[in-house]
Structure 1
Amino acid sequence: MITKSAELVKHAEQKCPTRLTQSLESFAALREGYIAGAINRLEEYGLWAKALSEANSHIAVDKEEIAAATDAYNEVADYLATNLSWPPESISIKPQGSVSTKTLIRSPYGSEKFDIDAVCKIDISHIEADNPVSFFESIGQALKELEAQPKRRCWKIPFTGRKFYLEFTPSIPLNTISEQTLHSMAPRYSVARYGETALAVVDMPTESWKTSNSEGMSKWVNDTSERRLLWSNVMEAHAYDRAAASISPVPDQTVDITDTLRVAIRLFKRHRDMCARRGIIDAATKPISVIIVTLLTSCYEGLADLGRSFEHPIELLDELATLMPHLVLELDGKYRVDNPTVEGENFAEKWNDDNGERYKSFMTWTNALSADLQSILALKDPQAISIRVRDVFGIAAPTGGGNGLTTIQPPAPRATPASRGLA
């Protein structure tokens, strides 16, 4: 039976039969023995791969900053254990989101803080599960000295003087709550995948428990990224090694371009941020990261489910960029980007309450992304490729002297509609 991700990809392929650039040719020549032409193509791909790898390394968060965030988790746990008189073993704090999937990126604004998402699982024997609001507020009270600020489902801890802030979601394991509490939760949200990591979190606007599965989302991204779509051969490895030899990896958050799903998530998020910075899209309506992650991972998973293969990471990166905007669903006049781990949760829910502004921003951004990737893949000269990549992703030239940014005109919005009729 065809999977949902495979169905989405097949539908997207019908809408965009051509890739971003005709310069990405098949490696059929290599398979048939025409070695010289294949090596030339590999070396050409290697120039693009080298420049994009350098951009990927530049936007990674440093090891020291990740270590500081780990210390922050411990600090929060200590406050909870002390102020709520809970034993430390009843508190489990884990990173979630981009930290746990190695897709965290630095802000292009320099001094702007980056956010670290964490989920706190509490042993249910230490709370009143029938009173979610009391549970949520008790967490905030315990973190008062850290200046915790309430949000819809989490507490934001600013950590003044540090390079990050923490968004901290209190929760209890879904499989530990009583049947009575389970029945009181929002009925339209149920576990779809990775049920062993599902949680109950407090939704403050409704003052009730809601199903969540942030760890399941991370496992989905990580598991999907391990699926092999690249066709490997000795000559390809040789050509890539020559191109990548000068790239300095970033400890802990190192992601090689052959890990193409994670690279796509990181580079595309950075491109979105640059579009907002340059005024191409409104920062208030820019696509949220979870939508980008979900669409790209669904696309990658669908390609794997369909048995697709690619000869080089650049080809796969191009395919992800081409198909991504066509994976948004439109059902009964409503946009949908479904949470693959929680049935009924729509990450694009706000797109249906703003007169189409967020969807317009999404399409304008993906249009700009395609145009910028086309401009990179059209170049053959190494220096020109490097300059263009730095410009597109907002990276200062190695010699310093300015931020390397130029004014880019907003592209015309695409008329591509969302995919329709896929459940």
Structure 2
Amino acid sequence: MSKQYSIFLEKAAEALDIPPSKYKQAVSRYEAVGTWLESGEYNGQIEGVCIYPQGSFRLGTVIRPYKDHKDQDYDIDLVCELGAAVTSSDAEETKHLVGNRLKEHERYRQMLDKEGKRCWTLNYAEQDGVGFHMDVLPSVLSPTGVSQTTISITSKIDDGYEWCSSDPKGYAEWFKHRNRVAFERDALRQKRSISLNFQDTYASIEDVPDLLVRTPLQRAIQLLKRHRDVRFSDRANWKCAPISMIITTIAVHLYQNESDVLQALQNIILSLDAHIPLLHGREVSANFSNQKIIHRLPDGTWYIGNPVNPDENFADRWHEDGNARAKAFFQWVEMLKEDFVSAAKSGDAVFKKKMEGLFDNAIANKYLPNSTPKVVPPPVRNVSISAAPKPWRNS
């Protein structure tokens, strides 16, 4: 039955994903924004502007956010990289150069949200019940970065602005490298299917972009993020829910090129479950010591490193408030184990009930067996009567 469960999970993740037609629409929109930003004069202060996607949209792990018990608009993250160095740029000025350029466009000015901590957000109206939030991140090249793709991004703080280091290009290349074997195995089959099912959008297999291919790793990450969104939606500690960067980084490290979504998901969960002893000051379970991704340091702090910049610690706040974020993470791991591992071993009825609480019921009803067991009639007994009894005695 695990094969049927895996098919269901594939379909559940597909329903959360951005459809190919909407993907093409999103690309068209961010390219238009990019063209507008690239053509700006910026008071002669900037030479060259580069626009590119980052985050889940670029990694192929995008899902519709879930909030207030319903799906929200897709988030599309863009980097606006200005041709200047940090040494010659001011964070506040850089942030507003991009914001002011967006405000010069009549339509974008109407769509522009109030200034965010790091981004400028354009809100696109819904079409067919699906809308977009496009977050534009102002940045400049970092002359002292650990790689040639390191950038400095602007961040608004209480008393002004500051620079923060980031490397979305480097991270995307790391992800692509770790996902390469599975991508090469699955790409042709999936592109053929997309071309067949979306002929009005992509006329041939060659027209289907690589970023629409989804490996078991990408599907597992989508399912993990959805599970987090749903399970923390009503919890008091929802602000401590695991961030997507941690979920993605850990999943990539633990993925072993499984060809089956359920198997990939369960292996990731069991590896994370082996890290729970860290919360109590003990070591990772011996069978998983070679998969140690989360580290508890002698001073009680936690470390989950950025794979392209080890100096950046994604878990730098896990020790705060009595390890609140660490506790929330491992509570989530226990919920994952119950929902995807234990339930899968408990039979169709239990698994289906768990999945109906996480994903679209229509998909569960279509791809999972009915929870009501089939009634099997008892076997019919063959009765042989050699002679009928006589109602009288022979005289």
Q: How many residues align?
A: 315
Return the match for 1:200 from 152, 156, 170.
152
Quote how far apart the aligned CAs of 1:152 are: 3.2
CA distance in structure 2 between the aligned counterparts of 1:254 and 1:135, rounded to whole angstroms: 33
TM-score (norm 2): 0.68
Aligned to 2:265: 317
Q: SS where residue 312 of structure 2 aligns?
A: coil
What is the 5 A alignment of 1:145-160? 145=109, 146-160=111-125
Q: SS where residue 149 of structure 1 aligns?
A: coil
Quote how far apart the aligned CAs of 1:215 are: 1.5
Aligned to 1:397: 362
Judge conservation of contact 1:97–1:117 (CA < 8 Å) in 2: yes
1:284 maps to 2:239: yes
After superposition, the Cα gap between the structure-2 partners of 1:135 and 1:112, relative to the gap in structure 1 and judged at 3 Å, is same
Q: Which amino acid aligns with 1:118?
A: L
CA distance in structure 2 between the aligned counterparts of 1:135 and 1:212, rounded to whole angstroms: 16
Judge conservation of contact 1:140–1:149 (CA < 8 Å) in 2: no
Offset from partner CA, 1:302-331 (integer Å, 9 cap, x none): x5xxxxx86855433321111135232221
Return the match for 1:171 from 128, 139, 144.
139
Judge conservation of contact 1:170–1:202 (CA < 8 Å) in 2: yes
CA distance in structure 2 between the aligned counterparts of 1:311 and 1:115, rounded to whole angstroms: 28
Name whichever of 86-95 and 106-115 sits farther off.
86-95
Q: Which amino acid aligns with 1:114?
A: Y
Aligned to 1:417: none
Aligned to 2:303: 336
Q: SS where residue 302 of structure 2 aligns?
A: strand
After superposition, the Cα gap between the structure-2 partners of 1:314 and 1:225, relative to the gap in structure 1 and judged at 3 Å, is same
Q: Which amino acid aligns with 1:395?
A: D
Quote how far apart the aligned CAs of 1:128 are: 7.9
Judge conservation of contact 1:154–1:167 (CA < 8 Å) in 2: yes
CA distance in structure 1 between the aligned counterparts of 2:212 and 2:354, rounded to whole angstroms: 19
Q: Which amino acid aligns with 2:238?
A: A
After superposition, the Cα gap between the structure-2 partners of 1:391 and 1:399, relative to the gap in structure 1 and judged at 3 Å, is closer
Q: SS where residue 364 of structure 1 aligns?
A: helix
Displaced runs of 4+ in structure 1, greater than 6 A?
A: 85-89, 248-253
Greater Rg over alpha carbons, structure:
2
Q: SS where residue 397 of structure 1 aligns?
A: helix
Return the match for 2:99 from 140, 145, 149.
140
Judge conservation of contact 1:55–1:390 (CA < 8 Å) in 2: no
Quote how far apart the aligned CAs of 1:228 are: 5.7
Return the match for 1:210 from 164, 172, 183.
164
Q: Which amino acid aligns with 1:173?
A: L
Judge conservation of contact 1:275–1:281 (CA < 8 Å) in 2: no
CA distance in structure 2 between the aligned counterparts of 1:95 and 1:385, rounded to whole angstroms: 40
Quote how far apart the aligned CAs of 1:48 are: 2.1
Aligned to 1:412: none
Aligned to 1:19: none
Judge conservation of contact 2:217–2:261 (CA < 8 Å) in 1: no
1:56 maps to 2:24: no
CA distance in structure 1 between the aligned counterparts of 2:334 and 2:55, rounded to whole angstroms: 26
1:347 maps to 2:347: no
Structure 2: any 5+ residue segments left out of the alignment? Answer: 104-108, 199-207, 276-292, 366-395
Judge conservation of contact 1:47–1:385 (CA < 8 Å) in 2: no
Offset from partner CA, 1:144-203 (integer Å, 9 cap, x none): 3242433333223333557121221112233xx4xxxx4xxxxxxx52xxx232212223
Return the match for 1:105 from 63, 75, 93.
63
Q: SS where residue 64 of structure 2 aligns?
A: coil
CA distance in structure 2 between the aligned counterparts of 1:399 and 1:372, rounded to whole angstroms: 14
1:45 maps to 2:5: no
Query: Greater strand percent: which structure?
Result: 2
Judge conservation of contact 1:171–1:201 (CA < 8 Å) in 2: yes
Quote how far apart the aligned CAs of 1:116 are: 1.2
Offset from partner CA, 1:220-239 (integer Å, 9 cap, x none): 11211124699x9xxxx9xx
TM-score (norm 1): 0.64
Q: SS where residue 70 of structure 1 aligns?
A: helix
After superposition, the Cα gap between the structure-2 partners of 1:324 and 1:83, relative to the gap in structure 1 and judged at 3 Å, is farther
Quote how far apart the aligned CAs of 1:358 are: 2.0
Offset from partner CA, 1:238-286 (integer Å, 9 cap, x none): xxx9xxx9xx989866555xx2221211111111111023x25643221
Offset from partner CA, 1:196-219 (integer Å, 9 cap, x none): 322122233374433210111122
Structural RMSD (CA): 3.6
Judge conservation of contact 2:154–2:161 (CA < 8 Å) in 1: yes
After superposition, the Cα gap between the structure-2 partners of 1:47 and 1:216, relative to the gap in structure 1 and judged at 3 Å, is same
Q: SS where residue 197 of structure 1 aligns?
A: coil
Aligned to 2:27: 70
CA distance in structure 2 between the aligned counterparts of 1:219 and 1:249, rounded to whole angstroms: 29
Judge conservation of contact 1:48–1:376 (CA < 8 Å) in 2: no
Q: SS where residue 119 of structure 1 aligns?
A: strand
Q: Which amino acid aligns with 1:76?
A: V
Return the match for 2:218 from 246, 262, 270.
262
Q: Which amino acid aligns with 2:167?
A: N
Quote how far apart the aligned CAs of 1:85 are: 6.2
